[in-house]
Structure 1
């Protein structure tokens, strides 16, 4: 606990020295919501699906055609204006009438895909929220590791300085000073590695929240250890499963739409004809046309739609199985992290601190050798690092479990 309290006291000073602004997890989440590229892309997909729905409900546009016939350069065009020329002019308007409920099926499928895109947006937000918390806790852990590494390097530096004085006084052998200097060099190297890990953690968080990485400093303490009820929201409310279910519905509708292609569309037309070949004559006409299934009856399109429907069903079943495994894994990881956290905070860390303190005192009185002192220091530092990792692992496991229950739907 002494080391933890020291870290908490030193964090603000370190942040001010590096011109870093303390950032809480709530503040990070607000910045993430405003700057998340993944959520922005998911919203764009929703907009595209909404446009597809509008397109699906549109009636086919009519076709208009103007044809001029009976043009003969040998017999002449006749005198007078254009309307007096000896030609046959036809103006025609055609409208396709869809049969088999094709338009309704297109709309139904587009609606299902739009709902799937909205659930994808929810699931993206859920997963990215988890990624944000991971990045925040990674930064918090990197900060704590750096402080421990600097504290250790400073301790070995003081010990090395004191060792040189004791060597001059004849209190220690040259080999002991060499051992102190070796451990100091190792501690300095670990401090540089911890600094590099901190910078990497800052970059990861900066990407998610759109801030300058060099100014990022995680100020929130670790989540308090507490017994979790581990109650789980039913899996059928998970947005990724809802999205998969909607895609099954869309694929089923697409299959029905492919089958509906066998229902022939009818094209109705009306025509106005102005004929000046002999006597000026105006006439009107109507007509219709239907496609002939001479070479195929859309067997390929139907088979493809059937395959897509089977694939969508299998994808949904696969995601269901994966979701069940994810929940079980999140539960197991959280329980394991709780047990590890309790073991370290329940006495192991305090015992290591007491042993190291006693070793320092004994060495200062000449009652303990240098190797035993260095071993006690290494053990303490290892336990401190493990305790920091245990806090981070518990925070991440708790976040994972909470994310499993966050099935809020964005409107």
Structure 2
């Protein structure tokens, strides 16, 4: 079991592309890559610390489950005098002989039913294994969240870049229109339209800058504030991997996903708890031993104590454990069904995004760029109107953004597909 959990941690680390020692970069460093940010989040995010704390709790509970009952000691002592009202003369004559210290000592050792202790230990072992898989699941979910936030920021930066390019184009057009209006070659209304386009382009830049700022904060939050407020990112969107098969991905999620493994261990823990409650009907035997020293008497005594379960035999605890097992089994089934749905959904989303990327790369990107180039040249030569240039510019910017958004959607779908599968694709 320990080797299986260790293997899961190694797979997750390789999936994130992490190094053994996570790099800690200062705010003055140029940029963070995606593996850098994932390493910082896995080190500093509170959800990981919380999951590690649960594992520590389960380790302590396993130690407690395997402990043997402690013995109990008791004792008493005092000064004793033999008194006999009918023989006062003898009592007075033998005062020294009839006075001495009296004491007694007792020890009791509970003996637990072996099957009960074995069931309790098995339940604690299953709980520990389940919490260990829970830690792997937490790391997997956090890694996906970081990837999505990273791609959100990349898309926002790309939108900001396109918005600034749009401002440059619109301002160039506005300058040409201004010259033509001064020369009387164009009406004043064209200059007003050009000024409006410049204003709209600057507003788009402001909105894009706000979006970038928000996404920076979101990504910084996932690292526990390790990135600071002025960091940069370096990286690109993901590329569609070949050879994906939904049946294989579904089968992998059903058998290897850490959430499934965690819930399987919780079902096992519930089953062991049922066995423990059934064995708990057998009472513990306590073996006692005592030594007494009194005036005129010295004794060694041995005995035992056994509670008698006549009226109550753990019926409530057994019923509660059976209910807990049914709950865990239902949660396991629900999780598997949810993973099946997610695998198919994100697989289809990735394929849809990849098809759009192929369509854009095969012609639309170049066509839109060429159309804008021709429109700008024609406008400079007086063969095209301002409206034609603005339309060509809008189309070209929209296609570039659609291309960036398609790559973003592909990256997000692949990241979430990895989370649904339970590891790298």
Same fold, TM-score > 0.5, yes or no: yes
CA distance in 1, matches of 2:62, 2:376: 74
> Which of 369, 393, 407 is residue 385 of structure 2 equivalent to?
369
Q: Is 1:319 aligned to residue 338 of structure 2?
A: no
User: How far apart are the structure 2 equivalents of 1:64 and 1:104?
Assistant: 27
Residues 226 and 50 of structure 1: CA distance in aligned 2, closer, same or farther (over 3 Å): closer
Q: Does 1:202 align with 2:202?
A: no
| Distance in 1 (alpha carbons) for counterparts of 2:309 and 2:56 | 37
Contact map agreement 1:100 1:260 (CA 8 A) in 2:
no
Q: Deviations over 1:137-175 (max 9, x none)?
A: 222212111111111123223333443333222232222
The equivalent residue for 1:296 is 312
Once the two structures are overlaid, the 10-residue window that deviates more, 202-211 or 352-361, is 202-211
Q: Deviations over 1:259-316 (max 9, x none)?
A: 11211111221112232xxx35332212222223354222211111110011111111
Give the secondary-structure state (helix, strand or coil) at the position aligned to 2:31: strand
Q: Give the direction of change, closer, same or farther, for the CA distance of 1:301–1:144 in structure 2 (3 Å limit).
A: same
Correspondent of 2:285 among 266, 270, 284: 266
Residue 140 of structure 1 corresponds to 154
1:171 paired with 2:185, answer yes
Contact 1:205 1:213 in 2 (8 A): no
Q: State the SS of the aligned residue for 1:274.
A: strand
**CA offset digits 1:229-278 (Å, max 9, x no partner):** 34536221111111110110000000111111211111221112232xxx
Kindly report which structure 2 residues correspond to 1:250-399, keeping only aligned pairs within 5 A, or say none. 250-275=269-294, 279-293=295-309, 295-399=311-415
The separation in 1 between residues aligned to 2:404 and 2:237, in whole angstroms, is 9
Instruction: Give the match for residue 40 of structure 2.
Output: 31
SS of 1:216's partner is coil
Alignment: residue pair count = 380
- 1: CA distance, partners of 2:228 / 2:107: 64
CA RMSD of aligned residues (A): 2.8
Cα offset for 1:40? Answer: 2.6
Deviation at 1:208, TM superposition (A): 3.0
| Pairwise CA distance, 1:328 | 1.3
TM-score in terms of structure 1 length: 0.84
Deviation at 1:86, TM superposition (A): 7.3
SS in 2 for 1:217: coil
SS of residue in 2 equivalent to 1:91: strand
Conserved in 2, the CA contact under 8 Å of 1:239 and 1:407? no
Q: Which moved more, 1:161-170 or 1:235-244?
A: 161-170
Q: Which moved more, 1:220-229 or 1:314-323?
A: 220-229
Query: How many angstroms apart in 2 are the aligned matches of 1:224 and 1:259?
Result: 55
Comparing 357-366 and 252-261, the one that deviates more: 357-366
Q: For 1:101-139, what per-residue CA distance to the aligned partner results, in whole angstroms no more than 9, with x for missing partners?
A: 111111100111111111111112222221222122222
Instruction: Label 1:192 to 1:85 Cα distance change in 2 as closer, same or farther (>3 A).
Output: farther
Moved more, 253-262 or 91-100: 91-100
Residue ranges of structure 1 left out of the alignment (5+ in a row)? 1-17, 79-83
2:71 aligned partner: 62
> For residue 9 of structure 1, what is the aligned residue in structure 2?
none
TM-score by length of 2: 0.81
Matched with 1:106 is 120
Over 3 Å counting, the alpha-carbon distance change for 1:100 and 1:19 in structure 2 is: closer
**Given the superposition, is the C-alpha separation of residues 71 and 154 from structure 1 closer, same or farther in structure 2, using an over 3 Å criterion?**
farther
Residue matched to 1:211: 226
**2:52 maps to which residue?**
43
In the alignment, does 2:261 pair up with 1:222?
Answer: no
Separation (CA, whole Å) in 2 of partners of 1:68 and 1:173: 118
Q: Secondary structure at the match of 2:290?
A: strand
Q: Which moved more, 1:313-322 or 1:293-302?
A: 293-302
Conservation of the 8 A alpha-carbon contact between 1:46 and 1:114: yes
